[in-house]
Structure 1
Amino acid sequence: NPFFLYAPIVLPHAELIVPEDSIIQQFRGKFPETPYRGIDDGPSFRKGGYASQEHPRATHAAMVKRIDVYVGQIIERLKAEGIYENTLIVFTSDNGPHREGGGDPDFFNSNGIYRGYKRDLYEGGIRVPTVVSWKGHVAAGEENSFAFAFWDYMPTFAELLGVEYPKPTDGVSVLPTFLNRDGQKSRDFFYFEFLEMDGKQAVIQSDWKLIHQSIRKNPTFELYNLASDPSENHNIISLYPEKAEELRKIMQCARTDDRAWKLYND
């Protein structure tokens, strides 16, 4: 009886809040704290704005701990049902760390060497880890730097099940990478966009990355080589204008316009 379970655990997303139980008690007093002052009453309370939090760092840590507990519960249930060894588990995130509601990713070094946060198209905003487990099929404790994206999961799961999936699609199966097999297909480039903060775009091709910032207000371009500068500290667009133009053309062609999601003013 094949099944697919999508478990969207929103922790440690804002609002920073956890039950008053033994988990939060493990972390209270462990970190220096600066209380976060939010919206605690009135018509906007619990309707978009985040409430105050006296212990934002401890609460964040407790939320992360709860993720571990919840994932453990899922795994234990799989084992109890006798299907753990026949289940592929993928643990990942849709974006980098956020700073809303008292979140403090710098204190926890949440994005490591990578610049940026959620809503940025720097690596810190879009590059996230993925943990894959499948006993007897996926080697435990190994690391792989192959880059892929969320739109690759449908082709991956379809290949695993031996079924067709809707086409055309930008996705490619990453099952060969999961199983450490030959035959992994690659893509020519990655394209990203974000509509808030006046609009942003990014294209990654091999080691090169072009970012288009503040599109609707004061547009600028930045060029980085991720192999030599993974932290994106050195904008080298003035040194490689031809490469920037090459990526700009890819960026222009990769986007499909949508009236509901306007990236440009016109």
Structure 2
Amino acid sequence: GKSAPLKTPEGSGFDAFLGQVDQTACHNMYPSAIDDGVAGEGGVPLPLNAAGNRSREECMAHPERYNYTVDVFTQGALGWLDAHVSPHGADRSPFFLYLSLTVPHAGGWTDKGAEQGSPVPTNFQYASRSDWPEVERDHAAAVTYMDAAFGAVLDRLDALGVAKNTLVLAASDNGAHLEGGHSVTFFNSTGGLRGHKRSMYEGGVRSPTIVRWPGVVSPGSVSAFPWAFWDLLPTLAEVAGNTKSVPGDVDGISILPTLRGMPQRRAEQDFLFFTGNTDWADAPTSAAGLPQEVKGGAVTDGAPVVTAYSVVVGELKAVAKECANQPSTQDKLQIFNISADPFETHDLAATPEGAAHAQAILELVVPRNLSCACYQCGISWRDFEMHAESAPMKQP
């Protein structure tokens, strides 16, 4: 979901929905109510959370007394599969299920509580890791909890006898985050890539996808083909054999050849385009600069918010740290070869070859009349409460 104005999933073509439409509400993993397509926003009460006196200590001590959204969403997904998928695919009708879990993510334990770590009912085996900061124990537990939820869905597909004919994709919507006190360096979450969530560098826009498709995707296989979420619908339409339903103005392409292990290249005029906030380009990732809680949307130092964008064309990556409304031929670009230099340490813009690449990329992008505006562009990393007493970084 996103912030208002809101549009229900049913209004975008889904047949049924259970979740939280407003992304701000999603930061509370123990809400008193959630939404669905029948009762509307806040129309599905979660009675165990009605008292409103949740806390980390209470929820972990008695997880059975509370409704955790990951459990609610997962059970909703399993129930939908049981109700709509014929055992062993008897009717052979294609189906699409989108399970969007809100962890691992900074969040609160109550409707209006401050964000602190990643709320989770239990710390599993990480509870004994006293050498880890509490926020990192919670983060690891949230990832493990998410993994168990995905495992439950895969097990249900197996039990229904449709696993061999079902494509499953698991992906993140952004790079590693540094919110709620979590550090992107503690578990090496970016793998050394520059930047993090909201940054235009690879650490902010590159994230892995895991695929299971028995008989099509070879177990253990790896692909470096770059794709984005706008490629998902054309891909699923082709998988379902219904490419005629894809509107002609959809930007994405089908990555079915890549899933099948076949060579695939994007057309020379095709590119990936991301927008963001210049302020997040190289925000702190060290222990001394860990964000603790969101304070608001205004830039606290009064500095104007400057939008930024990045473009990926084949092996080349361009980053514009300043953009006025739309990309312009006057924009100053950093140029990286992300195949040879995935950590974006060598800016080629000052070289003759790099300058030529920058010119070619601008000539490709500018005529498209794209906007530099981005969701949450008004949020600066300075909007986060910094704390200087973070525990030393320790690798697991």
Q: TM-score, normalised by structure 2?
A: 0.56
Within a 5 Å distance, the mapping from 1:53-202 to structure 2 comes to 55-163=134-242, 164=244, 165-181=246-262, 184=264, 186-188=266-268, 189-194=271-276, 197=279, 198-202=306-310
Q: Structure 1 residues 199, 256: closer, same or farther in 2, change over 3 A?
A: same
Determine which of 2, 23, 27 is the counterpart of 2:126.
Answer: 27
> Partner residue of 1:223?
335
> Partner residue of 1:14?
106
The answer as to whether partners of 2:276 and 2:373 remain within 8 angstroms in 1 is: no
> What SS class does the counterpart of residue 7 from structure 1 fall into?
coil
Q: Structure 1 residues 2, 67: closer, same or farther in 2, change over 3 A?
A: same
How far the C-alpha of 1:262 sits from its partner, in A, is 11
> What SS class does the counterpart of residue 196 from structure 2 fall into?
coil
Q: Which runs of 5 or more structure 2 residues have no equivalent in the other structure?
A: 1-92, 108-116, 280-305, 325-330, 378-396
Cα distance in 2 for partners of 1:61, 1:213 equals 33
How far the C-alpha of 1:242 sits from its partner, in A, is 2.3
Cα distance in 2 for partners of 1:31, 1:122 equals 33
Cα distance in 1 for partners of 2:249, 2:228 equals 16
Q: Structure 1 residues 138, 20: closer, same or farther in 2, change over 3 A?
A: closer
Determine which of 210, 222, 233 is the counterpart of 2:318.
Answer: 210
> What SS class does the counterpart of residue 28 from structure 1 fall into?
helix
Report % sequence identity.
33
Cα distance in 2 for partners of 1:236, 1:260 equals 26
Q: Which amino acid aligns with 2:321?
A: Q
Cα distance in 1 for partners of 2:321, 2:374 equals 20
Residue deviations 1:86-133 (CA, integer Å, cap 9, x gap): 110001111100101111110110010311100011011111111111
Q: Which runs of 5 or more structure 1 residues have no equivalent in the other structure?
A: 35-54
Cα distance in 1 for partners of 2:334, 2:374 equals 27
How far the C-alpha of 1:258 sits from its partner, in A, is 8.8
Cα distance in 2 for partners of 1:262, 1:107 equals 25
How far the C-alpha of 1:260 sits from its partner, in A, is 9.3
> Partner residue of 2:364?
250
Cα distance in 2 for partners of 1:260, 1:96 equals 16
Q: Which amino acid aligns with 1:200?
A: A
How much is the aligned-residue C-alpha RMSD, in angstroms?
Answer: 2.5
> What SS class does the counterpart of residue 101 from structure 1 fall into?
coil
The answer as to whether partners of 1:172 and 1:185 remain within 8 angstroms in 2 is: no
The answer as to whether partners of 2:311 and 2:318 remain within 8 angstroms in 1 is: yes
Between the two proteins, the alignment pairs up a number of residues equal to 239
The answer to whether the aligner puts 1:236 opposite 2:317 as a matched pair is: no
Q: Structure 1 residues 117, 260: closer, same or farther in 2, change over 3 A?
A: closer
Cα distance in 1 for partners of 2:265, 2:318 equals 23
Q: Which amino acid aligns with 1:9?
A: L
The answer as to whether partners of 1:203 and 1:250 remain within 8 angstroms in 2 is: no
How far the C-alpha of 1:20 sits from its partner, in A, is 3.9
> Partner residue of 1:47?
none
Cα distance in 2 for partners of 1:206, 1:245 equals 15
The answer as to whether partners of 2:120 and 2:141 remain within 8 angstroms in 1 is: no
How far the C-alpha of 1:220 sits from its partner, in A, is 4.9
> Partner residue of 1:48?
none
Q: Larger C-alpha radius of gyration, 1 or 2? A: 2
